[in-house]
Copies of this chain bind each other. A is one copy, B any other.
């Protein structure tokens, strides 16, 4: 709607790379091929993440003890699918081939889900909740590093997460009924987080453009330790959530 009228005011040549990507729109920011590659990677990773989440939540819905519970998990799966659609459509809109963009992240995400197949309904609920929360934390972290258009999409998708809150109530009730359940689920949540971190490291090591963007290396002045700090912020938030759930993380 609005034209970037501040673009002309700024001394673009004054400090190389000093104009924050966050202040740019996609058309401007994507002129940098490394930034463009990073965003295609990011959208590809998020898109396949949503598609894989759809598939696993639909699978885990089978563990539901009642039809209502099944419908709750199916609703989450369906929401993830709609996120996938938005991300895929955005990839196509910026001229990237969605399948090609997703391909590099298939192994890590499939690996995560393979290593963390829930063995019962409660494990499924904890996974849905943990997965949804970590995804939402990550979206929020990464949004700040994006151009205005990409950020708008990421925040729109983020805005629609949080379907997993129903899980909290169910897990709490199960722990109240049998405190030993809490110990088992705490171990499970720790395994989920461990597996998520180890698969993330695999991705960070493999994908240069994406990692550079995550550490703020494209246009801002963050140092390399920033990616470590991001992971530790996400881990801390996870620990707090697990405590709130009655699980020692």
Q: Within 8 Å of chain B (Cβ to Cβ): is A81?
A: yes
In the complex the two chains form, is B88's CB within 8 Å of A84's CB? no
Q: Within 8 Å of chain B (Cβ to Cβ): is A195?
A: no
- The 8 A CB mask of A121-156 against B (1 = contact, 0 = none) is 000000000000000000000000000000000000
Number of interface residues of A (CB under 8 A): 27
Which secondary structure dominates chain A's binding surface?
A: helix
Closest to A103 in B: B67
* Distance between A55 CB and nearest chain B CB, rounded to angstroms: 6
Residue from B75, B88, B103 within 8 A of A85 (CB atoms) = B75
Q: Within 8 Å of chain B (Cβ to Cβ): is A78?
A: yes
Please give the residue numbers on chain A whose beta carbons come within 8 Å of chain B beta carbons, in ascending order: 48, 51, 54-55, 58-59, 61-62, 66-68, 70-71, 74-75, 77-78, 81-82, 84-85, 88, 98-99, 102-103, 106
